[in-house]
Structure 1
């Protein structure tokens, strides 16, 4: 799990995450889209066959930090048991944030 500095570098970063718990059939993907839009992030969220949810999110470092906090908070839909994540440089490959089926 990569850690981002807590300061505001203004750099765009990518969060690639796998979220486990009760996160399917509870509105988790749509809640994730709403939160990402609120924070100005781009990317995708999709259900995995094993019951987890995969997220790729890009945006300014402070917004991605807030998104990471939200994923682990009681405000996220369902019950998140764990979040495995990797943080890297953004690629700019997304134009919006959407659910992938």
Structure 2
């Protein structure tokens, strides 16, 4: 089991980015959250199998058809022993 932490930059707030990320993460059986930051970025933290996390990571630049994602920065991808979340939430 792994944890992915990524930061989406660009026009990613107020355009359904967190919702579309949540739907994709749930379809991949991932747990975690997507949350707006005061900087205007969206932080995504997801936990699950590495292959599903990499699929989510490749989806993040195109998550919402209304977003203009300039960059997705991977902050961490590391092995973990247990989940820190239950479900996948959007804040």
Misfit runs of 4+, over 4 Å = none
Q: Which runs of 5+ in 1 are unaligned?
A: 1-11
Of 3, 15, 38, 2:4 maps to 15
1:43 aligns with 2:22: no
Which of 72, 76, 94 aligns to 2:85? It is 94
* TM score, norm. by length of structure 1: 0.81
Structure ID, larger Rg: 1
- Unmatched 5+ residue regions in structure 2? none
Q: Distance in 2 between matches of 1:80 and 1:59?
A: 24
Q: TM-score, normalising length from structure 2? A: 0.89
Between the two proteins, the alignment pairs up a number of residues equal to 87
